[in-house]
Structure 1
Amino acid sequence: MDLGLTSTTVLWAAVLAAGALFAVTVWRWPRLAGRGPLPVLGRVGLLAAVQLSLFAVVALAANRTFLFYGSWADLLGREQGPGVVVDHSAGRGAGSVRVLGREDAPGAPGGRIEKVAVSGGESGIASPALVYLPPEYVRAGHRGRDFPAAVVLTGYPGTAENLITGLDYPRTAYRLVQEGRMKPMVLVMMRPTVAPPRDTECVDVPGGPRTETFFGRDLPRAVSSAYRIGSAARSWGIIGNSTGGYCALKIAMHHPERYAAGAGLSAHYRAPEDVTTGDLFGGDQRLRNRADLLWSLDHHVPGRAPRSSFLVTTSREGESERAATLDFIARVRPPARVSSITLDSGGHNFTTWRREVPPALEWLGGRLSAG
């Protein structure tokens, strides 16, 4: 029985508990009609219990819809899965992928989810990931076939599990393949938070985590060595929402030798500096400028303009980054290409991103190839 924070069982248990408390309140109320302290305390207790139970139902339903928290551990502030090791003295190496567990992919019959730990030889970072292997990858008749891959990133401080339970990436990828709208693709699902609880915004922090190096170079190199995925840029894409969308665009922009395409769903375009990030740049304005995607589009090194394909999403109503998104589109120049998805309305939430994931995955798949 699934008793997770987002499970139907827990939500219905809360509904039944609220209904039961309401019934008890109606039944016991006449007996608590007196003026003494005990009847008053009884009435207050029952009203408080009903109110709390109703609040729990509303909170669970809202969280199930928008996935503010993916698990009880996430809600309570406890980390889950294998720990993250940041070894700044690590030498350069190929990196590695260690499989920690396997299970069937929900909504993708014949597909598989592998829980792995990815170690970066150059960055010294190790981070957990969930790898979706499509049914075609698993089938014996395709053992000699290579596949394209996409890194899929959550926002901050999300969990990789949200990409499965909240945004349905494996289910959507499977459906698009069955409908002939996309070729089979491996999905490497991760959170961009590789040094929790710090939000590093996919920056190589001076004296700190080399997050951009991990996603930009280590990750595709290590995963290509462990799975049947091409190592050329045309075999790799990256997509994400919110902070993950910013990371996806930045990594594709600054590492076209590794990624052919990047898609940002409700992305922002410069790294924030606040209590969650700490000092990302060590006072180095050059690094701060490089983390500003709009600045980077205008100040690339001559002859080294971004040559990746970009997809950005926005909405006419409800999206705070709409002006920056339009600015990004206007600044992209060949050899780079840019596409967009514009909804009539949609906020910064899972409901909006669920509407954008299918066309974004189809777009991404159309720009990648296995060889």
Structure 2
Amino acid sequence: MSLTGTPFLYTLVVLCVVAVVLPLVLWSRVRGPKVVRGAVRMLMLAFAQGTAVALVFTLVNNSNQLYDNWGDLLGTSDHVQQAADLGASGTGGIALEKLPKVKQVFKPGRGPGMRAEGGVLTTQLKGRVSGVHAEVNVWLPPQYHEPAYRNHRFPVVEVLPGYPGSSKAWYGTMDAPEQLAPLMRSGQIEPFIIVSARTTLLPGKDTGCANIPGKVNADSWLSIDVPKMVMDNFRAQAAPDGWAVAGYSAGAHCAAKLAVAHPDRYRAAVSMSGYNDPIAVPQSLAGKTPALRDANNPYVLLRDSRVPPRVALYLSGQPKDGYEAAMALKRIAKAPTTVNVVFVPADAGGHTMALWKPQVVPAFRWLTEVMGGGEHRACTGPGATPLAPSTGGSRHAELASGSASPATGARRP
């Protein structure tokens, strides 16, 4: 029975009802010695508490899409077939342009949000470079199948969840397709292909999107294998100008790191409540040694870069949750690197999906401008209208769109 499936949830609801009724009916009817009666009653109480905890956990998990399956929850899922030493480039000396095309079979995605706005396509990809074997989800914008766009290649945003986190979270809890599709249809936001690959690759460990010989090549999985597969199977623009990466929490750290480390693969990155030093997450493999920490710290990479990378960064955060890390990157950035920091006041909410979900639209508006979309390209479709300023719509969305500042945020009641 699937961890996130409706049958499992309904089963828990029924068991919770039974667990409440059982003591009411049997408490005074238990027979036998005093010790036996006490043990039976304790078992009934334990059963009631256990089912209640399981139901609450399942509701929280389904709402935040933390664990996809039992293997993720129990720490038994391993999606790494091999982890060769691929060197500093992450290619292992492989001439990527000479690799044969990757042809994948896709099926409709299942789960929360996976069928909204045209639906999500999912496939199991065997990474030829990384040695990772895991799912990749692809959502196509409304214009993708329109005759007027049959020769058009679309920009791509690779989206990353936090840790723990499901590859489906951006489609489900974050509601990215539902939020963005209407704006793409109206021409306010560029029609992006949205790609989400599995990032939980090892049992109970956050890979930190790092390449670690002998353990995992998460960087090469996300920045080489997944993009190549997408470009081989869909009308996607080429890297780097046609590609961006976005994430929240641990995924935010990865987004900034991947863009700074690979300006030849990504043009822009969106980081929501991110951090720079991988040691911020105790389970992060990238934080285990000083060398790994430096190699996967976007601040260190940007500071020590001989030639500033041609990337644009959108970094949002609250005090002590992303804002200071974002400002540190802004202070050391040199052209052509650009850094846009969005201050989110502490009273806008905590480190949760409720804080990041309203930031999806403002972030994609920014991506539309930065990736050469702007008013001109966004207005190329039939019936498109010029780009318009964000209307906000909710307090959190207004804050996330950059209308707040450290000064104004402090004055809010």
Contact between 2:142 and 2:184, CA under 8 Å: does it hold in 1? Answer: no
* Aligned with residue 49 of structure 2, among 51, 58, 77: 51
Hey, what's the Cα distance between the residues in 2 that align with 1:107 and 1:97? 25
Hey, what's the Cα distance between the residues in 1 that align with 2:286 and 2:366? 35
Matched, 1:328 2:329: yes
Matched, 1:110 2:127: no
Contact between 1:205 and 1:280, CA under 8 Å: does it hold in 2? Answer: no
Return the offset for 1:209: 4.5
Identical amino acids, percent of aligned pairs: 25
> Equivalent residues in 2 for 1:1-371 (5 A)?
4-32=2-30, 36-79=34-77, 84-86=81-83, 91-94=94-97, 95=99, 96-103=101-108, 106-117=114-125, 119-121=127-129, 127-178=134-185, 180-193=187-200, 199-205=206-212, 209-272=216-279, 276-277=284-285, 285=291, 288-301=293-306, 304-316=307-319, 319-345=320-346, 346-369=349-372
Hey, what's the Cα distance between the residues in 1 that align with 2:54 and 2:73? 13
Hey, what's the Cα distance between the residues in 2 that align with 1:111 and 1:60? 24
Q: Deviations over 1:22-61 (max 9, x none)?
A: 1232122232388733332332222222222222222222
Return the offset for 1:238: 0.6
Contact between 1:70 and 1:162, CA under 8 Å: does it hold in 2? Answer: no
Hey, what's the Cα distance between the residues in 2 that align with 1:106 and 1:218? 23
Hey, what's the Cα distance between the residues in 1 that align with 2:317 and 2:67? 23
Hey, what's the Cα distance between the residues in 2 that align with 1:51 and 1:279? 37
Hey, what's the Cα distance between the residues in 2 that align with 1:218 and 1:266? 26
Secondary structure at 2:180 match in 1: helix
Gaps of 5+ in 2: 86-91, 378-413
Hey, what's the Cα distance between the residues in 2 that align with 1:347 and 1:190? 26
Contact between 1:108 and 1:134, CA under 8 Å: does it hold in 2? Answer: no
Q: TM-score, normalised by structure 1?
A: 0.81
Q: TM-score, normalised by structure 2?
A: 0.74
Contact between 1:34 and 1:40, CA under 8 Å: does it hold in 2? Answer: no
Return the offset for 1:218: 5.0
Hey, what's the Cα distance between the residues in 2 that align with 1:11 and 1:125? 31
Distance change (3 Å), C-alpha of 1:210 and 1:20: closer
Hey, what's the Cα distance between the residues in 1 that align with 2:132 and 2:314? 28
Deviates more, 1:143-152 or 1:359-368: 359-368
Hey, what's the Cα distance between the residues in 2 that align with 1:350 and 1:259? 25
Hey, what's the Cα distance between the residues in 2 that align with 1:14 and 1:198? 28
Return the offset for 1:139: 4.0
CA-based RMSD = 3.4
Hey, what's the Cα distance between the residues in 1 that align with 2:207 and 2:43? 45
Contact between 2:103 and 2:229, CA under 8 Å: does it hold in 1? Answer: no
Return the offset for 1:313: 1.7
Letter in 1 for 2:107: R
Letter in 2 for 1:238: V
The count of aligned residue pairs is 360
Return the offset for 1:62: 2.3
Contact between 1:221 and 1:231, CA under 8 Å: does it hold in 2? Answer: no
